[in-house]
A = this chain, B = another copy of it.
Amino acid sequence: MTSKPNVRQPSHVACRDCSLSSLCLPLALSIKDIDQLDHIIKRGRPLKKGEHLFLEGDPFTSVFAVRSGAIKTYTATNEGEEQITGFYLPSEILGLSGMDTDTYPVSAQAMETTMICEIPFEQLETLSDQFPELRRHLMRLMSKRIREDQQMMMLLSKKNADERIATFLINLASRFRRRGFSSQSFRLSMSRNEMGNYLGLAVETVSRVFTRFQKNGLISAVGKEIEIRNSVELCALAGGKTLEPNPIATSA
């Protein structure tokens, strides 16, 4: 059993020593296999807030694991606005959607100082030729992603503003918890604007819902610091599940 993950990690821990390892890629690999994976992973490259990991249209070369910090992916709408497609927290994998094209279909940008593990895809493929378990794990990752995206579509096509934001908060909470952090209080890495963009809502709506949630004692929010004060109610709004409903995250 490893200890709780830390936000900040030394730059070059090996996979086998990384406290996120049980959450990240190598989940399914034996220790020996992990060492192999370890060799192909490029570390370092701490990104400052606003820096890009890759741009839409860049040649697809690698998938990435967030080690600390937070990344958003986005694409341009036809009118040239930004459409955020996902937020990635430590131990989460991004870049998979480029796999069947030769370029990334989205851009990835750091929302705060962020450490990344880069996994060159070609070598990952070679390695996964050797280890069926790694392969299956990759498949599962993608399949999970598909299910989560479908949850997101449901949110976008059927839920109102309150429900969307409740769902989003509960989802974040469960992802934090999974990483060993408090699911009761945490810090949002994205602005209200980005949240609204992602959820298909105007900033003003996000703000109003936050205000209302606070009036009703569901949460308290000071800037980006969030505390969930009534998770039962919030989960109900989010639509059922006692915790952990939506995209990207968790699930056993």
A96 is contacted by which of B105, B146, B152, B198 (Cβ under 8 Å)? B146
A77 touches B158 (CB 8 A): yes
Contact with B along A104-148 (1 / 0, CB 8 A): 011000000000000000000100010010011011111111110
**Please, how many residues of chain A have a CB less than 8 angstroms from a CB on the other chain?**
42
Interface positions, chain A 202-225, Cβ under 8 Å from B, are none
Does A31 count as interface, using CB distance less than 8 angstroms? no
A143 touches B199 (CB 8 A): no
Q: How many angstroms from the CA of A151 to the CA of B18 in the assembled complex?
A: 35
Q: How many copies does the complex hold?
A: 2
Contact with B along A150-185 (1 / 0, CB 8 A): 101110111000000000000000000000000000
A100 is contacted by which of B75, B98, B100, B143 (Cβ under 8 Å)? B143
Shortest beta-carbon distance from A193 to chain B in Å: 14
Does A85 count as interface, using CB distance less than 8 angstroms? yes
Closest chain B residue to A146, Cβ basis: B97
Closest chain B residue to A77, Cβ basis: B158
- List, in ascending order, chain B residues with CB within 8 A of A158's CB: 77, 81, 83, 200
A154 is contacted by which of B83, B135, B143 (Cβ under 8 Å)? B83
A146 touches B147 (CB 8 A): no
- List, in ascending order, chain B residues with CB within 8 A of A143's CB: 96-101, 142
Does A2 count as interface, using CB distance less than 8 angstroms? no
- List, in ascending order, chain B residues with CB within 8 A of A135's CB: 135
B154 touches A153 (CB 8 A): no
Does A57 count as interface, using CB distance less than 8 angstroms? no
A78 touches B239 (CB 8 A): yes
Q: With A153-B156, A156-B157, A158-B83 given, is the CB distance from A136 to B125 under 8 Å?
A: yes
Q: How many angstroms from the CA of A136 to the CA of B149 in the assembled complex?
A: 22
Nearest 8 pairs of A and B residues by beta carbon: A157-B200, A100-B140, A99-B143, A156-B156, A78-B239, A149-B149, A100-B143, A142-B142
